[in-house]
Amino acid sequence: MRRAALALSLLAAAPAFADSTLPAAPLANTQLPDPVLEAKAQALMVTLRCLVCQGQSIADSDAEMAGDMRALVRQRIQAGEQPAQIRDWLVARYGDYVTYDPPFSLLTAPLWIAPLALIAIGLWLARACFRRRRR
Amino acid sequence: MKGLKLWLPLVAFVAVLGIIASALYRPADRTVYSAMVGKPLPAFETPPLLPGKPGLASAAFHDGKPKLLNIFASWCVPCVAEAPQLMALKAAGVTIEGVAIRDTPQAMRDFLARVGDPYAAIGDDTASAVQLSLGSSGVPESFLIDGNGTILLQHVGDIRADEVPGIVAKLRAAR
């Protein structure tokens, strides 16, 4: 009885932040007819963050908003816009957070510089170590 | 000097551990805020969703009167919770313009009949185009727009009862 009730309640469970009943936008799940343009759009979409799931790109996400963002990207690519323009348009609205390819800035500088600095320190340590051994 | 050098790696290790531990225990703020605050409202034009209720264009925000732009949907649960606060804002003299995300006329009619209708206009945004152009990442969200069409403030999530007086004051100050 209890098991049946649990199964029933799971069946009735709906997410609190429900999705709309509207079908996905025309270009959300449909590729562009021109494979060159579609490849361009796809390359951009995998570098854009889904703002609902936040850990996924809009190319991976099933969220409705990601679908609408895919439609926006494909529409603009089809209209002849460059991927960099579309990325800039989104960054102007959502900040750098929306792109997985963050531009070089004061905030992101450690990300790029730290590995190089660590390699330099490692080389310096190794050099000192080899010198001592040779002696 | 030698002793100090010996302890340095441990001190550095504990410092990194401390940073990680403090970041783990601080609740992360996952809210995505719009970068459009302080900038002019982007141009848009949406058709009406309901007969008898006008659609919404960005031109409506340039008449010198500050307004509240509410992004909402009939399928959105927190929007139901927000409805009484919007009615209170309307009663306080605030003009509320709505943009309905991915909605249908029938569902919207039922929603408004259930929770009340504070909207001067409701634009139909079937593919979230207006929402994306505003830097909004969910429903409900509200934007305070001054009389010149500049975005003054973004409110993410439903407006709570204790936030109503603050919003009224901010809109009065923007006049």
List, in order of start, the domains of chain B with CATH numbers. Answer: 58-174 (3.40.30.10)
- Predicted TM-score of the model (pTM): 0.82
Nearest 5°: the CA angle B144, B147, B151 is 35
> What tens digit of pLDDT does each residue of A67-95 get?
999 999 999 999 999 999 999 999 999 99
Q: What is the pLDDT of residue A3?
A: 63
Alpha carbons B63 and B55: distance in angstroms, whole number: 16
Candidates B74, B104, B132, B156: best to mutate against A (most CBs of A within 10 A) is B132
Q: Interface pTM (ipTM) of the complex? A: 0.86
> What tens digit of pLDDT does each residue of B70-104 get?
999 999 999 999 999 999 999 999 999 999 999 99
pLDDT at A17 over 80: no
A63: closest CA of chain B, how far (Å): 11
DSSP letter (8 states) at residue B45: B
Tokens linked to A91: 């960054």
CB contact under 8 A, A93 and B35: yes
CB contact under 8 A, B101 and A20: yes
> What tens digit of pLDDT does each residue of A105-126 get?
888 899 889 999 999 999 999 9
B63 CA to centre of own chain:
22
Residues whose CB falls within 8 Å of the CB of residue A24, separated by 6 or more in sequence, listed in order? A64, A67, A71
Q: What is the pLDDT of residue A16?
A: 45
pLDDT in tens, chain B (175 residues): 677 888 998 999 999 999 999 999 988 888 999 999 999 999 999 999 999 999 999 999 999 999 999 999 999 999 999 999 999 999 999 999 999 999 999 999 999 999 999 999 999 999 999 999 999 999 999 999 999 999 999 999 999 999 999 999 999 998 7
pLDDT at A14 over 50: no
Supply the mean pLDDT for chain B.
Answer: 94
Tokens linked to B114: 């259930």
Amino acid at residue number A88: D
